[in-house]
Amino acid sequence: MATFRLGAIASIATRIPHQNVAKLQRINLVRRMATGAAPKKPTSTLGLAVKGMAIGALVGTGWSGYSYFKGGPTDHMLHEHVGPKVLDKLPDVKIMRKVVNPNDDSGLDLVLFQFQTCPFCCKVRAFLDHSGLSYSVVEVDAVLRQDIRWSDSKKVPILLAKTKSGKYVQLTDSSMIVSSISSFLRDKKQDIGELAKYYPSISYENDAGRKVFDIMNKYFLMYQEKKVDNRTKEEQEEERKWRAWADDHLVHLISPNVYRTKDEAMETFEWFSDVGEWGIHFPKWERDLMVYVGAFAMWGISKRLKRRHQLSDDVRSHIYDACDRWISEIEKKKTTFHGGSQPNLADLAVFGVLNSMEGCQAFKDCLENTKIGPWFYAVKERVLKNRGNVL
């Protein structure tokens, strides 16, 4: 493949020596961290199954949390580079809906595994829809996650993209997904499978001394030496800066706000069920498990997240400040969007994060107490205008 550019920097990620990892961490690896008396009558098999799954989900969550903080036996192996996983064929999963745009000439074959209201999934959908791309959607059960059993990564979004070889490359980070697909759209002669190799996972030690992985170069666009980007270097750097801000700051304000109280947590999960059509795609017992176990678990987790990100008890004030900061940045430009007359990747990232809570009380409060509304609905209008038909 021809030489690729990292924005304006001529370097290839997989050839960077280990001694530069600390510098890369500062630039590209910013994002760190976003539930007895005997019964009087026999219990039904279904009842036992539901109870068992609920207990299993809670135990699994607890074990995952323990493992997260404990680390693992390979924690000493830092600075490992791991390339994208490639699948010979699509997993045997149920496609729940498709977005079909008859004007899509990209040639891409995309399958998105998601939670409908996950902030990172909303970011990816906002980008795909604004770009006018066709794609299939697999709605993953937020508790059992059966539809991603085939993947080593148990987080969503996951985007499978068909390569020129007929195999599917697995893209597993929202910002990396956006950057790699955006790079492809600038030069469609490229192979998405080859592009994905320029976004390897790399291990490093976080502030807690634990080995974690993040995607190198995830805010950078990769393209050949010919001119395909008419923006200045400063404009590209600004876009990357605010995309990182959406991941490193804004997204961490969502959970403490939408799960602020038990009632808000339940209201939020009921909204998740409605927009995700859980009642249609999942059996009632599974839908109820997701709502009730999910709401209770996230209410508890939001308290820990509030402490981790050093938020005050008045969590609303933090998200108001973030909305005001973003709008102030756009007002300085005296343009409709951060990208000017059209939304850029920063606009779509911030919109996607906020879109994840659009049906929650927290978002209604943001509309009443900040000036985020006109910009938000202007971006939404462009996204919906470009989106294909939902089938």
3-state SS class at 288: helix
Q: For residues 233 and 240, what is the distance between their CA atoms, to the nearest angstrom?
A: 11
- If you search the block for the tokens 């697999």, which residue do you land on? 138
Query: What is this structure's pTM?
Result: 0.79
Q: Give phi and psi for 21, each to the nearest 5.
A: -65, -40
**What pLDDT shows up at residue 48?**
43
127: closest CA among 142, 140, 114?
A: 114
pLDDT tens across 207-234, in order?
A: 778 888 889 999 999 987 556 678 899 9
CB of 330 within 8 A of CB of 376?
no
- Residue 80 — very low, low, confident or very high, per pLDDT cuts 50/70/90? confident
Q: For residues 6 and 379, what is the distance between their CA atoms, to the nearest angstrom?
A: 27
Mean pLDDT across the stretch 351-361? 96
**What pLDDT shows up at residue 205?**
83
Of 12-26, 68-82, 102-116, 320-334, where does mean pLDDT reach its minimum?
12-26
214: closest CA among 205, 233, 200, 201?
A: 201
- Residue 263 — very low, low, confident or very high, per pLDDT cuts 50/70/90? very high
Q: Tally the C-alpha atoms within 13 A of residue 245's C-alpha that lie toward its C-beta.
A: 19
The identity of residue 283, as a single letter, is P
Higher pLDDT, 271 or 69: 271
Residue ranges and CATH numbers for the domains of the chain are 82-230 (3.40.30.10), 232-383 (1.20.1050.10)
**What pLDDT shows up at residue 16?**
37
119: closest CA among 239, 298, 293, 279?
A: 298
**What pLDDT shows up at residue 226?**
59
114: closest CA among 346, 355, 370?
A: 355
Those residues whose C-beta lies under 8 Å from the C-beta of residue 104, and which sit 6 or more positions away, are 132, 133, 134, 388
Q: How far is residue 111 from each of residues 158, 192, 258, 271, measured CA to CA in Å?
A: 8, 14, 28, 24
Q: For residues 385 and 15, what is the distance between their CA atoms, to the nearest angstrom?
A: 41
**What pLDDT shows up at residue 154?**
85
Mean pLDDT across the stretch 169-192? 95
**What pLDDT shows up at residue 319?**
98
Of 158-172, 271-285, 305-319, 343-357, where does mean pLDDT reach its minimum?
271-285
| 110 strand-pairing partners | 161
Cβ neighbours around 218 below 10 Å, total: 24
pLDDT tens across 128-174, in order?
A: 999 999 999 999 987 778 899 999 888 999 999 999 999 999 999 99
pLDDT tens across 31-71, in order?
A: 333 333 333 444 444 444 444 444 444 434 443 443 333 44
Q: Give phi and psi for 45, each to the nearest 5.
A: -60, -40
